[in-house]
Every structure is written in structure tokens, then in C-alpha cells.
Structure 1
Amino acid sequence: MGGSAVVVGGGIGGLAAAIGLRLIGWEVTVIERAPVLADMGAGISLHSNGIRALDALGVGQAVREAARPQYTGGTRVPGGGWLARMDGTALERELGTPIVGVPRAVLHRLLRAALPSECLVVGAEVASADRSDPSRVRIPLQDDVLEADLVVAADGVGSRLRAQLFPEHPGPAYSGSTVLRAITERPVQLDTDFALTWGRGAEFGHIAFADGRAEWHAVLNSPPGVRYPDALGTMRDLFGEWHDPIPTLLDATRPEAVLHHDMYELATPLPAFTAGRIALLGDAAHAMTPNLGQGACQALEDAAALAAALTTETTIESALARYDMERRPRSQAVARAARRAGRMGQQLTHPLPIALRNTALRLAPSRMTVRALVRHADWTPPILG
């Protein structure tokens, strides 16, 4: 089966979907509202399932070569003591690949490089889709109308297409946390590839990159919409007395490099990931908190699964029914687990639950940490092409 597709959204999930569709012989147009596909963003950890999805899409090796494996790390307290250590070597034995860290900009560039430039349309916003013809979807686009056999809505947590398709759904909900993050301006000396530190209602973490730089993030319990005139200065006030290398990471950061976003999720699961010939993908379908590092990985799984369904089913309708059946239960289960992880991690503020959690983590054998990661990262990719 082949046809024409419009992918709404040029983020990681949208680009991956376009790669998968082109790989199985579809004509694809990607529409991105940003006027320039700028190489911005902080860092990302890709678990085994994300890497396997990239392998299925034909870009896994390029990402591996650009990424840094995460063999060492774990979870700490602000004074520096360890709650749990991550055994990346054991994880690699279990799944065939360790977790890897890569700048989002690098991943985005590698995905774009797998697509012809002429299939990318930037600076155009899609507000709605016309589904009056059951065999075609029409997308109003400025002074034109695009027609396609299939539309992939990969337009993020605030998806306008999702709102049109499911008007009764409450939409994204604020998670209770806000995140500030940046990539250091220069290489930094780090003892671990990855680490999280949990305080009361606050988390600080880092991901080391292949070029010696690192991404750091700070997550805070906060009302939505709070912004700081001097974000980096505020981070120094809040985290400057925490253990090394946190002060070093902050000192290696330019003030203008700090990004600040409130964290929203689809706390109410969608009843379906498809409507007619439109498929929701990534954050548009299952936006989740980042506590398990699975948001992008689930979007990459979506992309591979959608392409696979379209190759094996005889009609678009049956392919989308299969996509929904495969993807909705798994991604929504991961989203629930991520929400629970946040509530038991960074969001805790009362001393007694924090003490109980910390004691449990210190007493748990390292294999339990590996098992927890494997639970969500063990996924068998489809074969495409």
C-alpha cells in the first residue's frame, strides 16, 4: 500500500514518521509552523526502544555515532550521597544497547538529513483538517489546500488537530512542575555520564555528550507561568550549594542559553489515537512527564509502528486500527508510570515520605534498577523496507 501523507509537525516524532512513511514508498509533506528549523533545544536520553525504532527507520547507526553511551550514573541527594547507581553495562547486556545521550539539535539534524529538503514546509500553521470526504483529508494551508490519503498529527502537546478531533477531551494538564535546562558552553569534567539529584520538590540532573559538553536540567514544583528575570542566577541561588558537579555545570553555562518550560501532560488518556484517516503521534497522542526519559522514545516507536501497519494491512483504515491497538495501551501505560515516578521522585516535599523513599532506594539491589529500566525500554521493533 502506498499513498500521500501530510505530517503536521516537524519535531522528532513528525520527522521520524515522515522517514518511516517514505521508507515504505509514500509521498510525504511535513508542515512545521516555525519559520526556521533552528537547531535549538537541550539534550535527550534515548533508551533501547528509541534506538531500536531509529534502527527500523534506518538512522540508528548515525545517531549512535553522534551520541555518548550512559554507562555510569544514578540518583543522589543534594549532599552528594548515592541513593542508587545505574549499571549501564548490565543494561547493555540485557537489551543490547545502553542508554545514550545526544543533543536534541543533533538528533533533529540527523532526522532532517534522512529526508529530502523539498518535503519540508516551514512557516506554515495547520489549524484544522477537513474530513468531509472519507477517502481524502484536506488541509487548509495559507492560500492553498493540501490533499492527502493520510494525515499524521505530530503537532505536540498543544495539538490543534487533537482538539478538533476530540473536542470533549480536556486537553493537556499542568503537571505541577516546571523545568529549566541548558547545554554548557564548553566541555566540563564529569565523573558520571548521567545523574539525577533529588531535593525537596526539586531535581537537578545532567547528561554528558560526546563532545565533552553536557546538558543540565532543573525541575521545580511551581505554579505555571512563573518566570525569572535572571534564570541562571536563580539556579545558582537554588542549587549552588548542592554537590559537585552542579556548580560547575551552572558556571559553564551562558545566561541566554537557559530554556524554561512548564511541563504539561495528557493526564486524561485519549479514547483513540486515530479518527478517520488522521493518526495522532508523539506528544499529540500521549504527552507525558519526562521522569522516565520515554517521551521521545515513545514517539519514535509510534513512527515505526505506523509505517509497519501501513505495510502489512490492506487498507488505511485497518492499518490505523492496528496502530491504535498497538500503540495506545503501551504509550498510555508508560505515561502513567512516568507520572508515578515524578510523584515519588522530584515532587515529594514532606520529610517522612522522602526518608522512606531514600531508604528503600539505598537498600534495593542494583539489578532492581536495571529491571525497572528494562520494563519500559524492552520493545521489539518492526521490520521496514
Structure 2
Amino acid sequence: MSRSHAIAIIGCGTAGLAAALLLERAGHIVTLVERFSEPQPLGSGLILQPSGLAVLDALGLAAPLIAAGSRIDRLFGLNAVTGSVVLDVRYAALKRERFGVGIHRAALFEMLFTAVQRQPIAIETGVEIVDVEAGGDGKASLLAASGHRIGPFDLVVDASGTRSALLGHAVRPVVSVPLSYGALWANVPLGETGFDRHALEQRYRRASVMVGVLPIGRHGAEPEPQAALFWSLKTDALEAWRSVGLAAWKDEVERTWPATAPLLAQIADPEQLSFASYRHQTLPQPVGRRLAFIGDAAHSTSPQLGQGANMALLDAHALAVALDDTADLDAALSRYAELRRWHIRLYQAASRMFTPFYQSDSAVLPLIRDKVVPPLARLPGIDRMLALLVAGLVGNPLRRLGLKEPAIAGESDRPALTGEGVER
């Protein structure tokens, strides 16, 4: 790279924090801007796939996150009524050893945020950005809700999510379709339950009812491994769920999957549950004038393929690569969009195709799913393709970005979250 740029990054989520680390390490002057007075994680648990772990490994953070989380070797789901297998994806189908890592969102956030705090990265909190203004000198300034300006900067990186206030500045209009189904999430101790500590397990009734258990390891001072328990719920049914009460909901979950009873016993207050809504959202070109969109601000899908945080990490790395390729910002932004275009399109198309079979009101699609998926998954090569899809590796995005998968196998029960190892 022949030039250092002054860069503002909006949002302290996974995409924003990773971009801050990668861009500062490349020699840029980075300022993080966060709307909350104290940066904090949102959500319950997620799976770090081999694609996302490759970016974290480049930052020196993969090993401690693997130690904090729970190794995931399999995604497994049954029809709650018939007991038939409707989802069975194993990382072992791939040629080399690969796995996912179930992780508490707070653990991922704290690792990244601690690493950011150790670098000369300015952080401005309690600032809600409502617009960006381009100056005559080619630079851009941020306009806060309070009316004051921050900047100027050579480049603004929008990592503020699907409801970003800056989407109108993209080269082409955003395409956004809210999904009817969201999910309730809660973190609970796994205890002495019989759940597989190395699998995401789910149960379905048709496609309208889904309950899942994802082991997510330990976080902070938690004395034992945790799990993220989630339940599908239509967005317009949230108020009715609150009115009916917690006990009625717990009864319904337990009827669907009796083994969840000891997990449900740990939920005594509705405040332990958070609701997440989802949407298919795409920026055909994730760039604007002196502006790059990364993570959910550029693209989002349903969580069925578990790619959200992993795609955000790949975006952050792609932007750093593009800026390193050329000092010309317009050329770098075009390069960033090119580096991510096909991988994003592929996974958004896959999400649109698969989601209705597992989360929708359709009566026909789950019947097709239950009849077709089990024999199809046993065909030679199909098991590997499904594993590649879940691992985030279809289309070989790592080679395109010059990334290598971490040469790390196994799992440790150590709950260490040190943030050590960020290379400069």
C-alpha cells in the first residue's frame, strides 16, 4: 500500500471491529463511531464457520475463540412428529478436518473489542450517525443526530447493520424484504443434559415450528458450558406471545421437544429471551462516494445457513485487501465490490432457496423436505457439497482473498478470553 487513509467506521459489531483491526494494521488511521454509550454485543449465540475462522486466524484470534467456544462437528435435525431425519450435515464429509465453533456473541465481541482497545484506534461512543456529506476536496464527514460533524475522512465504512441511515448513498438502491419469521433466543447452562456438545440440534413441526439447541462454550465467569436455545416465531406474533405468558410458551416448546425441559427450567423471566427479526437485504453495489458498506448493511439473509458473522468478517478482510491493492480509493472500492460479489450472491440465493423449506407457513414444502432431503444427502458428493455450503466455502472465497484456513484442530475447555495475539 502506497498511502495511509483516514477512515471512519460506523458500528462496533463484528464487521466494524474486524475492519478496524485489519485497516489499522495495514497502516490506516482509524476512528470507530458507535451509537451506544458503551459498545456491547447484541444477540445470543452463533457458529463461527471455517470461512470466518480464517479471518480471525489472520488477526491472531482464532485459537482463543476456539478455546472459549464449543467445537461443532454436525448440524442435525429431526421431524418432531415422525422422528425422521430432515437435516444432517457433517463437516467430516470434507477432505480435511474442518469444524464450526459455537460461540457466545459476547465472547466474540469482547475478544474483538479488547483487541481494538489495544491498538491506536480512536473510539467515539454515544454518537448516532444520520448522514454522510462529501466535501469539495473529495473527503467525507459524518453528520451526527446531535447536529455536529465528525471528520473529514478519506473513507467511511458503514458497518451499522440492516437499518443503516446511509443506505441512500449507495450507488444502486437497496433491495430489502422483511421475513415473516424471526426467533426467540436465550442462553442457558447445558448442565447434565443429553444434548450433543458438538452438534447444533433442531426439531421441526412442518416449517412453521422450529426449536434448536446450539452449544456455545463458556463466557466470562460462567462455571459451566452454555447453550443457545432458540424458537421460531413470526414477527407479528411477538405481542401475542408476550400476552400468553412464559409458562404457556415453555409448555409448547417442551411438547415439541421433551428433552428441552431442563433447559427451559433455567428460564424464569421473559427478559431472559431476546427476539431477532430477519430480512433478505442486498445492496447490488456495496459502495458509494467515499463510502463502503460491509456486513448486514451490505447484505443480510435468514439465519438458516448461519453465515451472518462469517460473511461480515470476509467483507472486512476484502476491504483491507482492496485498499492494499491500490492507493486510488475509487479503484479500491470497485475492487472490494468485485472481491465479494459472487460469494454474496451465491449465499443469498442459497438462503432464499432453503429458508422456505425450514421456516415458512407452507404445508407442501416441509413434506417435500422430509421426503427428498434424507436420501439426497446420502448421495455421493452431495454430503460434501452441503458441508461446504455450511462451512462458507462454496466458491472458494478464501483463495480469492489470500486467506488460509487455520491449522487448528480440537477443542479446549479453558474459558480464557485474553484478546492476545493481534499481529501488527
TM-score, normalization by structure 2? 0.82
- State the match for 1:259 in structure 2: 274
- The whole-number CA distance in structure 2 between the counterparts of 1:288 and 1:39 is 19
Q: What CA deviation, in whole Å up to 9, does each residue of 1:326-366 have, x standing for no partner?
A: 1133213212211221112121531x432221021222345
1:218 Cα deviation (Å)? 1.1
Residue from 145, 148, 163 that aligns with 1:158: 163
Partner of 2:230: 217
Give the CA deviation at 1:234.
Answer: 4.6
Post-superposition offset of 1:89: 3.2
Partner secondary structure for residue 319 of structure 2:
helix
Aligned amino acid, residue 123 of structure 2: L
State the match for 1:249 in structure 2.
263
Query: SS of the counterpart of 2:339?
Result: helix
Q: Secondary structure at the match of 1:228?
A: helix
Measure, in 2, the Cα distance between the counterparts of 1:26 and 1:47. 28
Change (3 A) 1:356 1:305: same
8 Å contact kept, 1:43–1:207: yes
**1:151 deviation in Å?**
0.6
Q: Is 2:376 the partner of 1:364?
A: yes
Alignment-derived partner of residue 187 in structure 1? 191
Matched, 1:236 2:250: yes
Aligned partner letter, 2:181: S
2:203 matched residue in structure 1: 197
Q: Secondary structure at the residue paired with 1:341?
A: helix
Distance 1:274 1:53, change over 3 A: same
SS at match of 1:241: helix
Task: After superposing the two structures, state which structure 1 stretch, 339-348 or 218-227, moved more.
Answer: 218-227
State yes or no: 1:343 paired with 2:361.
no
Give unmatched runs, 5+ long, in structure 2: 219-224, 404-422
Contact 1:232–1:258 (CA<8 Å) still a contact in 2?
Answer: no
CA distance in 1, matches of 2:245, 2:58: 40
**Aligned residue for 1:107?**
108
Question: What is the CA–CA distance in structure 2 between the aligned matches of 1:286 and 1:223, rounded to whole Å?
Answer: 23
Partner of 2:307: 294
Are the equivalent residues in 2 in contact too, given 1:187–1:214 (CA < 8 A)?
A: no
SS in 2 for 1:129: strand
The alpha-carbon deviation at position 262 of structure 1 amounts to: 2.3
1:248/1:311 CA distance change after superposition, 3 Å:
same
What does residue 406 of structure 2 align with?
none
Residue 147 of structure 1 aligns with which residue? 152
1:120 pairs with 2:135: no
* Equivalence for 1:382: 402
Aligned partner of 1:334 in structure 2 is 347
C-alpha deviation, 1:283, in angstroms: 0.4
Q: Point out the more displaced range, 294-303 or 355-364.
A: 355-364
Change (3 A) 1:21 1:43: same
Give yes or no for contact 2:174–2:284 (8 Å, CA) kept in 1. no
**Normalising by the residue count of structure 1, what TM-score does the alignment of the two structures yield?**
0.90
Distance in 2, matches of 1:292 and 1:59, equals 23
What does residue 309 of structure 1 align with? 322
CA contact (8 A) 1:137 1:277 kept: yes
1:177 aligns with 2:181: yes
